[in-house]
Structure 1
């Protein structure tokens, strides 16, 4: 049996151009409900706008009427765990002001606690850092502590962290509206067929292996994922590429390059950690095996690095960008390939 909550949009609660999923997320924020949970209820038709079924990106207007149907236990709070501060993690702070923190994450560092690791993550360091700097990281962040996006454990590069509620909301809206520009460099196996290309499809959880993500042909099983890439240099069995992500799906770049047959070098989940000989006519197993094995030794992690960020500052509203160098481990591999 579903319960019903009716919400009327008026001048007090209305924000221009706000999506219904974002509005409901803000409306129920004290009840600790995720935006994903709200979107799922919109998808199955539990949320009506003016008595009509809608999509999560529908915009609201004054005098609209939202009917929210929910199960009895919908607002039951999840069990929270206490985040332990950890001062022993070395973090490279690339930029900091009163409102934002830009981190250059090293490979091997997990961003968020989980799966048995609740002590040695970026979030644990943030908890210590906020205490040290006497920053009130407020309850609204819950366990995120201002973190706006993630990088995989063995991906290096730039991360944005908000230091107050106003910055968090403004930057989160930029992420939702795809206004934050992110660029990556990667080394992939072989040479992609097209020099410049946009990979566009749907990415969702792999049903057979929940650790992995998978490309699907329609949105029934996944979310829209768009990656634009450009070939920089080919080194026979590896190619240096530049990527721009138009969306931010889990493992997006790794999944996309595996999908087109060019997995990222030394990616141990999507097949890049095996010696692959199939890519061009210059291959000779005896000739290249030692060379490739040396490449694995030079770079014992996936060859993916987030080197570029561009967005509007939450307070000044001016566009700012951050660019960092290729890390030494990837640089050493490129020099070896030359």
Structure 2
């Protein structure tokens, strides 16, 4: 069976809205669990948190409310008390895929660092990290599987992901111990992750923290929005610091306290400063500056050079899974990012 977290965390997955009109015949069974005969009464959501590793209780509760989880073939509430011999099923629109059997493909990888336990890759833009809906091949994971097979090693999955057009460092475990140790650090948010982002406008404060639950926009599930009242979505915290002010745009450093889908992109948009070039979040519109033809041509030229969101996963810090010593890795900004940054620096200097 597949790991439920692969489906629930996928960018193309459902938001588990209870009002979604899903046909049961289109669902695929991912888990069927027979409750032990000696089991004391226990809440369904609590039971699944224990049985399905790495899936949060909030996400499971949404799945139960969306009737993707049933007990004895009946829809129930998250607080439903399970009894001995109950049958719990988890059915999702995605077909069952064994993520441990990702097909190997000879995809070029930019290896940043490697030892017997971990592999760090400097991911380029325009590369999906992991197989998912409509992208079952041609991903970074497919390339990693091929690379590890050359060493006679199995694939233990990716410890985390980056958006398709986000560049930067991504760590991959090379054995079971590394997978578990890294997984715990990501789960407990003790991994130090630093991103550089070029955003529209003049960020008012030199540093700050953005807090706000992130949920999928009801009109387009590919886009995340901030729910300030916390009525839905997942708790998310981003710390930012201004590195360079360029009048029309600002270079900021972002540190993730949590790691949610599109977290920096959605949080900076919420702050009023969408990432430069980030089309889904309004970053391909001129947010700051004149409408004179010279300026419009300059901005369009920057978009042509950097046809994606200006976001780079610059550094990773964590306890090494072998001996728990702290290790820190830092990468350079990619050429498209640095070129656009240099152009903005020259533009504000001479205009």
TM tier relative to shorter chain: 0.7 to 0.9
The equivalent position to 2:166 in structure 1, one of 146, 155, 177, is: 155
Partner of 1:93 in structure 2?
111
Q: Distance in 2 between matches of 1:337 and 1:158?
A: 25
Within the alignment, does 1:308 sit opposite 2:315 as a pair?
yes
What 5-or-longer segments of structure 1 have no aligned partner?
9-20, 47-54, 56-66, 138-144
Deviation of the 1:313 alpha carbon: 0.3
Check whether the contact 2:277–2:308 (CA below 8 A) recurs between aligned residues: yes
How many residues matched?
Answer: 289
Partner of 1:142 in structure 2?
none
Partner of 2:152 in structure 1?
134
Within the alignment, does 1:166 sit opposite 2:177 as a pair?
yes
Deviation of the 1:323 alpha carbon: 0.5
Deviation of the 1:190 alpha carbon: 0.7
Partner of 1:187 in structure 2?
198
Deviation of the 1:267 alpha carbon: 0.4
- Superposition pairs for residues 279-294 of structure 1, below 5 Å? 279=288, 283-294=290-301
- Secondary structure class of the residue paired with 2:308: coil
Check whether the contact 1:146–1:164 (CA below 8 A) recurs between aligned residues: no
- What's the C-alpha RMSD, in Å, of the aligned pairs? 2.9
* Structure 1 pair 38–237 and aligned structure 2 pair: CA distance change class (3 A): closer
The equivalent position to 2:276 in structure 1, one of 250, 265, 274, is: 265
Partner of 1:52 in structure 2?
none
- Superposition pairs for residues 56-135 of structure 1, below 5 Å? 72-74=87-89, 79-80=96-97, 83-87=102-106, 89-135=107-153
Q: Distance in 2 between matches of 1:23 and 1:3?
A: 12
- Secondary structure class of the residue paired with 1:337: helix
Check whether the contact 2:197–2:251 (CA below 8 A) recurs between aligned residues: yes
Deviation of the 1:119 alpha carbon: 1.7
* Structure 1 pair 291–100 and aligned structure 2 pair: CA distance change class (3 A): same
- Secondary structure class of the residue paired with 2:343: helix
Q: Distance in 1 between matches of 2:172 and 2:164?
A: 17
The equivalent position to 2:340 in structure 1, one of 329, 333, 338, is: 333
Check whether the contact 1:103–1:160 (CA below 8 A) recurs between aligned residues: yes
TM-score, normalization: structure 1?
Answer: 0.77
